[in-house]
Chains A and B, each alone.
Chain A
């Protein structure tokens, strides 16, 4: 028991505890991150809320106009239209989680090549958004794209112009967005599933549970907390989504694929309406916050799972 090795380890822990209980040291360790977050996130956040109160083109003088921008924003049909698109994306992202969960179940059961498959699913996540956008723009090209070439080969006469048709374009963009994040969620689920002790599964199997029962009655409840986190991630991520949409269609044609973030960008940087753009950005923040709080309320469970 009293081996010198253990002793020194104990001493190390003691010193560590002492240091960690010193308020000064705590402040010292936290300060850099706190400073960065304040400068990079909180100050701009407050500022954009403040700019939202101004009539400002980004260059000249700011004029204080009170809540006018926010009121216009709440009555702006285009804004609510883009908000609708953002929420649609959130719905689809959430639904797609079920598919990813299913894939993870399969990968986590001991099938051949699951390692290899897991890596394949992860590839889209390694690509930058702009590269993905370019890739899919090429695939969707109405005349030279892979997709329409294939459709024509199997006999479709007039394949749709995916990014030009206002009733299709939104869904055509959702596909690469969902595809992009598939690997990320599969990885999270996979890790959670692998974390479940084998003994639990073994016990269930001895009691005569079928694989489906094991998955739904044992594994799923055990990773519930993880699933709830991914739902939040998916919804918040969708509401503030920007990159692929901006590169692939810039919100067009005529706003058919506009989301809240791309609308904000357009206002601030194309129409030089910085005040209004900031207000929209702030509304976006508030909407996202509210939704996050609601989802956390709905999905979190009090019980803690311990293996």
Chain B
């Protein structure tokens, strides 16, 4: 691995130097074109090859914007996801960030905001985008009461189930947590593994834990534990951890879930091996419009909100989080134009993104007026009525703590840790930072 490490470092430095060159050249370009036209550099991560629909929507919006704003040109640069992250990091060290670009929320944002690289966008939201966003989304980009990102995507987590498997086995679709466990037992008796869970990517198990915490302790208990105004040793959170192990004991999850990747679990659900699967809305196309998935399967997939536990909990409270959002660079030469463009982009994005690319936008859209599969309309309506969206725990936490959380989730599900130890581990990690 030493060699690996070395190659990595070298690759990185090679990348750094090449990017520096790129950075310099585009920098000088800008000054030369400063004669009359203003140029906004925009960098995004939907290449034509892999995300054609996203790519087209972006180009549409840019074309419209340039038409409406004479003298402003948007200079586009497109990279794929991982490369995008690398390049952003490298550009930030040389203070050459694009004027507008994409960022992730919370933990990802922190070092950039800490380094004073992103501009606060509260003025834009106040003047242009008031009430445009689904509650809880723009907040995910806020650090110390200033918002540094305009969210584009939103993902909420639901339990998807295969209705046909329920009717074939004469099992009723559960409406409460207790029924979910009973239904799982019934599936086990029929020789079927009930819930597909790929907990090798432990964020999947984390979503189950988060929902239990939300239903048992209410929307705020977990958030407070993370921001240190509360504690993971709160009885409700310990109780949630206990319920996780209760589910494991009752055979709710597929065999060997701790060794399965999420992709493997998904394929168990999509091949009709397991009747239930918890995932976020990014997989909606697979359950609705994706022609590569058999029609029969898509027809029998339904979704349910996470049920109440012991009769408690608010079923309109969701776990989820915004995906990417727009940032504006703090040291941009064309900051005002960049802000204006970002606001314009967000406004145009919502309807276009959901109808053309199947993305659930972070802005409110009127679902009924759009031509969409029923499941999209239902979920968009859920969102408009959502009482709360709790941001994915591993996104809320700083990277180091998130790693501890994810490892502990695996240990909790695998019963190598008691609920009490689970709480203690989190307290230790959070108090250290």
Task: List B contacts of A121 (CB < 8 A).
Answer: none
Q: Mark B392-407, 1 if CB is under 8 A from A, else 0.
A: 0000000110110001
Q: Mark B183-210, 1 if CB is under 8 A from A, else 0.
A: 0000000000100000110100000000
Q: Mark B1-39, 1 if CB is under 8 A from A, else 0.
A: 111111101100100000000000000000000000000
Any A CB within 8 A of the CB of B268:
yes
Interface residues of A in 140-160 (CB under 8 A from B): 140-144
B1 touches A260 (CB 8 A): yes
B410 touches A252 (CB 8 A): yes
Known A-B contacts A58-B89, A163-B200, A164-B260; A281 and B10 likewise in contact (beta carbons under 8 Å): no
A249 touches B410 (CB 8 A): no
B111 touches A60 (CB 8 A): yes
Q: How far is the CA of A149 from the CA of B7 in the complex (A)?
A: 40
A253 touches B3 (CB 8 A): no
Instruction: Report which of B10, B114, B200 forms a contact with A253, defined as CB distance below 8 A.
Output: B200
Task: List A contacts of B193 (CB < 8 A).
Answer: 143
B200 touches A250 (CB 8 A): yes
**How many residues on B have C-beta within 8 angstroms of the other chain's C-beta atoms?**
43
Task: List B contacts of A255 (CB < 8 A).
Answer: 407
A51 to chain B, nearest CB (A): 9
Any B CB within 8 A of the CB of A184:
no
Q: Mark B102-116, 1 if CB is under 8 A from A, else 0.
A: 000000000110110
B255 touches A240 (CB 8 A): no
Q: How far is the CA of A284 from the CA of B6 in the complex (A)?
A: 13
A271 touches B10 (CB 8 A): no
A273 touches B256 (CB 8 A): no
A44 touches B111 (CB 8 A): no
Q: How far is the CA of A262 from the CA of B292 in the complex (A)?
A: 36
Any B CB within 8 A of the CB of A73:
no
Task: List A contacts of B10 (CB < 8 A).
Answer: 39-40, 44
Known A-B contacts A240-B3, A264-B5; A166 and B254 likewise in contact (beta carbons under 8 Å): no
A48 touches B4 (CB 8 A): no
Task: List A contacts of B3 (CB < 8 A).
Answer: 41, 240
Any B CB within 8 A of the CB of A254:
yes
Query: Which of A266, A271, A284 lies at the interface centre, i.e. has the most chain B CB atoms within 10 A of its CB?
Result: A271
Interface residues of B in 254-304 (CB under 8 A from A): 254-261, 264, 268, 273
Instruction: Report which of B5, B92, B254, B273 forms a contact with A44, defined as CB distance below 8 A.
Output: B5
Known A-B contacts A270-B403, A288-B2; A252 and B258 likewise in contact (beta carbons under 8 Å): yes
Known A-B contacts A253-B410, A266-B403; A261 and B1 likewise in contact (beta carbons under 8 Å): yes
B143 to chain A, nearest CB (A): 14
Any A CB within 8 A of the CB of B374:
no
Q: How far is the CA of A47 from the CA of B202 in the complex (A)?
A: 33
Known A-B contacts A40-B10, A59-B115, A141-B260; A284 and B2 likewise in contact (beta carbons under 8 Å): yes
Q: How far is the CA of A161 from the CA of B92 in the complex (A)?
A: 44
Q: Mark B329-348, 1 if CB is under 8 A from A, else 0.
A: 00000000000000000000
Interface residues of B in 224-245 (CB under 8 A from A): none
Known A-B contacts A48-B9, A140-B259, A161-B255; A272 and B400 likewise in contact (beta carbons under 8 Å): yes
Instruction: Report which of B1, B111, B255, B408 forms a contact with A241, defined as CB distance below 8 A.
Output: B1
Known A-B contacts A59-B93, A141-B264, A143-B273; A284 and B1 likewise in contact (beta carbons under 8 Å): yes
Q: How far is the CA of A250 from the CA of B260 in the complex (A)?
A: 11
Any B CB within 8 A of the CB of A57:
yes
Known A-B contacts A271-B403, A272-B400, A284-B2; A249 and B200 likewise in contact (beta carbons under 8 Å): yes
Q: How far is the CA of A144 from the CA of B256 in the complex (A)?
A: 11
Any A CB within 8 A of the CB of B83:
no
Task: List B contacts of A253 (CB < 8 A).
Answer: 199-200, 258-259, 410-411, 414, 416
B259 touches A161 (CB 8 A): yes
Q: How far is the CA of A240 from the CA of B93 in the complex (A)?
A: 30
Known A-B contacts A164-B256, A164-B257, A166-B416; A281 and B200 likewise in contact (beta carbons under 8 Å): no
Any B CB within 8 A of the CB of A169:
yes
Q: How far is the CA of A164 from the CA of B3 in the complex (A)?
A: 29
Q: How far is the CA of A162 from the CA of B4 in the complex (A)?
A: 27
Task: List A contacts of B260 (CB < 8 A).
Answer: 141-142, 163-164
Query: Which of A45, A144, A169, A272 lies at the interface centre, i.e. has the most chain B CB atoms within 10 A of its CB?
Result: A272
Any B CB within 8 A of the CB of A242:
yes
Task: List A contacts of B256 (CB < 8 A).
Answer: 141-143, 161-165
A249 touches B2 (CB 8 A): no
Task: List A contacts of B93 (CB < 8 A).
Answer: 59
Task: List B contacts of A262 (CB < 8 A).
Answer: 1
Any B CB within 8 A of the CB of A204:
no
Any B CB within 8 A of the CB of A295:
no
Instruction: Report which of A161, A273, A281 forms a contact with B400, defined as CB distance below 8 A.
Output: A273
Task: List B contacts of A272 (CB < 8 A).
Answer: 111, 399-400
Q: How far is the CA of A141 from the CA of B198 in the complex (A)?
A: 11
Query: Which of A44, A264, A273 lies at the interface centre, i.e. has the most chain B CB atoms within 10 A of its CB?
Result: A44
Task: List B contacts of A40 (CB < 8 A).
Answer: 6-7, 10
Instruction: Report which of A261, A270, A288 forms a contact with B4, defined as CB distance below 8 A.
Output: A261
A161 touches B258 (CB 8 A): yes
Interface residues of A in 252-306 (CB under 8 A from B): 252-255, 260-262, 264-266, 270-273, 281, 284-285, 288
A162 touches B259 (CB 8 A): yes
Q: Who on chain B is nearest to A59 by CB?
A: B111
Q: How far is the CA of A273 from the CA of B268 in the complex (A)?
A: 35
Q: Mark A162-185, 1 if CB is under 8 A from B, else 0.
A: 111110010000000000000000
Extra 4 A-B pairs, beta carbons < 8 Å, given A59-B89, A253-B410, A272-B400? A140-B259, A164-B260, A262-B1, A284-B1
The 8 A-B residue pairs with the shortest CB-CB distance in the complex, in nearest-first order: A161-B256, A261-B1, A163-B259, A142-B256, A164-B259, A164-B258, A254-B411, A44-B9
The 30 listed contacts between A and B (C-beta, < 8 Å) are A41-B3, A44-B5, A47-B9, A58-B89, A59-B89, A60-B111, A142-B255, A143-B268, A161-B255, A161-B256, A163-B258, A164-B256, A164-B257, A164-B260, A166-B416, A242-B4, A249-B200, A250-B200, A253-B200, A253-B410, A253-B416, A254-B417, A261-B1, A261-B4, A266-B403, A271-B402, A272-B111, A272-B399, A272-B400, A281-B5
